[in-house]
Amino acid sequence: NHSVPIAARVTVSKDESRDFMAVFPDVVRDLTNATKAYNCNDAAKWFAKALQYNVPRGKKNRGILTVLTYKNLVQPQDLTPENIKLAQYLGWCVEMLQSFFIMSDDVMDNSTTRRGQTCWHKVENVGLTAINDALMIENAIYLLLKQHFSHLECYVPLLELFHEISFITTCGQSLDLLNSYKSVADFTMENYKAIVDNKTAYYTFYLPFAIAMHLAGYTDPEAFRQTKSIVLEMGHFFQVQDDFLDCFGNPEITGKVGTDIQDNKCSWLAVVAMQRANAEQKQIMIDCYGKSDPAKVDRVKELYKELSLPSTYATFEEESYNMIKTHIQQTSRGVPHITFLQILNKIYQRDA
C-alpha cells in the first residue's frame, strides 16, 4: 500500500460525533409531534421506537460528512449555531435515507444482523411492519426539509436531490437484484460499475457533498458536475476496496467474515477474474462461484491468487489514488481541494 501522510488522515473527532448525536432527539421530537398532529398517537410512539433503533446507528459517516463538508465550504462568519444546526439536520436526513434503504434491503435479503444488532424486521413483534417503518422514515425526510428549509433558496434543489438520489438508488438496487440471478459468466465490468454507482456511490458520496454545497449557497451546475465526477470515482474505489477486503481482508481488523463468493455477488474480484481467466479457469469459476460449499469457496480464492488479483488490486489502488488526486487538483469551481482530499485520504487509509 502507498502511504498517506498521517497529518492528512481525517478521523471524525469524538466532539463532532457527539455534537451530531445531540441533535437527534430534536429530530425525533419534530417527527413524533407531526405524527401526533394526524391523530396517530400510537403510531407516533411506535415511530419513535423505530427511529431510535434504526437511525442513530453505525458510524454515521454520511451524516457527519455532510456537516464537515458544510464547515469546509462556508466562511467562518457564516458558521453560526443556526447554520450548523441546519447542516446537522441535513446530515440526519442523509442518515434517515440510509436507514430506509438498509431496512428495506434487509427485508429483501432476509438478513438477520446489521451494525451489530438484530435487523429491525427480525425484532419481536416487528416483522414485515418494518417495511412500513422504513417508508415512514423515508417520507419523514421531506417533513423535516419542509419544516426547516422551506424558507431557504436551496429548498427546491434539496428536494430534487433527495428525489433523484432515492430513485437512482432503487435503480441500482434493482440491477443488483437482477444480477444476483445471473451466472458469474455473465458478469461484466460495465454492469459492475452501474451497480456500484447507482446502488451505493450516489447516496453515500455524492449526496452528502451536494447537499452541503446547496446549503452553502452553491448554484453553479458546473461545480456540482465536477463534484459528482470526483466523488463517484472515490465511491467506485471505495467499493473495489470493500470487495477486495471481503476476500483478502483480515477479519480481526474488518470485523466481518466475507461472504461475497458464497452470495454470488458481482464483485470486482469476480469480474476481473472472469476477464483474466482462460477457458479452464472460467469453468472453475462457473462451477464454484455462488456456492456455499467451503471447498468451492476456497477454490475460488485460490484461483484469485493464481490470477494475481492481489497485485492487480495493489496497482489499481495506487493508480486510482493518483488519478483521483489529479482530478481534484483540476477542479476549478470553488469547492476547496482540501474538502475532497480529506475524504480521499480517509478512504485510502481504511483497513476495515
Residues 192-211 that bind its own copies (CB under 8 A): 193-194, 197-198
- At 1, the amino acid letter reads N
Q: Where are the alpha helices (DSSP H) in 39-154?
A: 41-54, 61-73, 81-108, 129-149
Written as nine digits, the cell of 293 is 460449499
Please report whether residue 139 would count as binding its own copies according to CB under 8 A: yes
Distance of CA 202 to the CA centre of its chain: 8
Check residue 202 and report its DSSP letter.
I
Contact 5, 325 (CB under 8 A): no
Interface residue with its own copies, options 20, 24, 27, 46 (CB under 8 A): 46
Contact flag: residue 142 with its own copies (CB under 8 A): yes
Query: Which of Mg ion, its own copies, none binds 246 (CB below 5-8 Å, type-dependent)?
Result: Mg ion
Looking at the DSSP bridge assignments, the partners of residue 114 are: 117
Span from 10-18, 69-77, 125-133, 259-267 in contact with its own copies (CB under 8 A): 125-133
Q: At closest approach, how far in Å is the CB of 284 from Mg ion?
A: 22
| Helix (H) / strand (E) containing 114 | strand 113-114
What is the size of the binding site for its own copies (CB under 8 A)? 51
The count of chain residues that interact with Mg ion, using the rule CB under 5 A, is 4
Binding piece for Mg ion, criterion CB under 5 A, among 82-90, 106-114, 128-136, 220-228 = 106-114
Question: Helix, strand or coil for residue 118?
Answer: strand
Of 47, 62, 105, 149, the catalytic one is 105
CA distances from residue 346 to 6, 62, 231, 350 in whole angstroms, order as listed:
10, 13, 13, 7
Q: Considering only residues 42, 109, 160, 318, which one is a binding residue for Mg ion as defined by CB under 5 A?
A: 109
Please state, as a whole number, how many other Cβ atoms lie within 10 Å of the Cβ of residue 160.
11
Kindly state the DSSP code that residue 3 receives in the 8-state scheme. -
Stretches 6-14, 21-29, 130-138, 241-249: which one binds its own copies (CB under 8 A)? 130-138
User: Judged by CB under 8 A, does residue 108 bind its own copies?
Assistant: yes
231 Cβ contact list (under 8 Å, min separation 6):
201, 205, 206, 209, 340, 343
189 binds, among its own copies, Mg ion, none (CB under 5 to 8 A by kind): none
Q: Would you say 314 and 308 are in contact if contact means Cβ atoms under 8 Å apart? A: no
Residue 118: strand pairing partners? 113
Q: Annotated catalytic, 59?
A: yes
Of 106, 197, 242, 260, the catalytic one is 242
Q: Which residues bind its own copies (CB under 8 A)?
A: 34-35, 38-40, 42-43, 46-47, 104, 107-108, 110, 125, 128-129, 131-133, 135-136, 139-140, 142-143, 146, 155-156, 159-160, 163-164, 166-168, 170-175, 177-179, 181, 190-191, 193-194, 197-198
Q: Give catalytic residue positions.
A: 59, 100, 105, 109, 114, 176, 199, 238, 242-243
Q: Which residues bind Mg ion (CB under 5 A)?
A: 105, 109, 242, 246
